[in-house]
């Protein structure tokens, strides 16, 4: 974390997803907890997972496209356009 946020402003947001709650991950977090600030987050909470809102916005943007998308390249172009 200190490499990415050398200004000390980085925060770690633990979502407690199954892979992130493994013994190895938990041990690493305990050993390195002084390296970053923690942002408390409800375990596995879909209500607070912002990525779901982002994917929903992408889905609606792509569904509104006319003409409908036919190829994976069309989809990629639509997603890139929606992102910007």
Domain annotation covers residue 57: yes
CA 39 from centre of chain: 14
Residue 73's pLDDT is 92
Indicate if 13 and 38 belong to the same structural domain: yes
Helices (H) then strands (E): counts for the chain: 3, 2
What is the DSSP pairing of strand 37-39 with strand 11-13? Answer: parallel
Same-domain check for residues 57 and 78: yes
Nearest 5°: the CA angle 44, 45, 50 is: 110
pLDDT in tens, 26-58: 898 888 877 777 666 676 666 666 777 788 888
pTM: 0.39
In angstroms, the CA 52 to CA 63 distance is: 16
How many other C-beta atoms lie within 10 A of the C-beta of residue 9?
8
- The domain containing residue 63 runs over which residues? 50-83
Residue 34 and residue 15 share a domain: yes
């Amino acid at each position: 974390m200190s490499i990415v946020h050398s200004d000390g402003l980085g925060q770690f947001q633990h979502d407690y997803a199954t892979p992130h709650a493994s013994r190895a991950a938990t041990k690493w977090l305990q050993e390195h907890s002084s390296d970053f600030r923690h942002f408390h987050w409800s375990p596995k909470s879909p209500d607070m997972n912002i990525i779901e809102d982002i994917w929903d916005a992408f889905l609606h943007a792509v569904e509104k496209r006319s003409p409908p998308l036919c190829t994976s390249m069309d989809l990629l172009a639509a997603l890139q356009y929606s992102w910007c």
